[in-house]
Amino acid sequence: MQDRAFSSLFVIVTSLAAIALLVVGFEGVYVLVNLRAADEALQAAAVAASGAVDVVGEAEYRVLRLREADGPNGPSALSAAQAQIEARGLADRLVLEGAVLFDAGLWLSGSLHLPTIAGRWIGIERYTFALAATAPVGP
């Protein structure tokens, strides 16, 4: 009788462990797929935002300035970047935080907010990842 009870308990515990392993594996794939999509979207957004750079000539120097507002010259850097993120359907998860012009490149930062699937069972509502992308600025 005792061996039968132990055997039943072993089967139950092993089954629960296998289910937990499957759920954790599924959640890991979910996070990786969304991270990759967000990284590709942020890179495309950085390339789009790099087109929103104005060349301002001062004396004999060439000065680059990031377009901060939509105007007749085109959209601002953040508007161009946001359009790329919306086109990829990630506007609800990927939030742009800022764009910085440095040397001959543009640095774009954002954060990805993913709701959890299994993490809610242990009190984790969402995963938050900080992402960044760079793009060269044209001549």
* Separation of alpha carbons 41 and 24, rounded Å: 26
pLDDT in tens, 13-47: 888 888 888 887 888 898 999 999 999 999 999 99
97 pLDDT band, cuts 50/70/90, is very high
Residue 81 amino acid letter: A
Residue 92 has pLDDT above 80, yes or no: yes
Question: What separation in angstroms does the CA of 69 have from each of 3, 33, 94?
Answer: 75, 33, 21
Residues in the chain: 139
Boundaries of domain holding 126: 2-136
Count of domains observed in the chain: 1
pLDDT of residue 1: 56
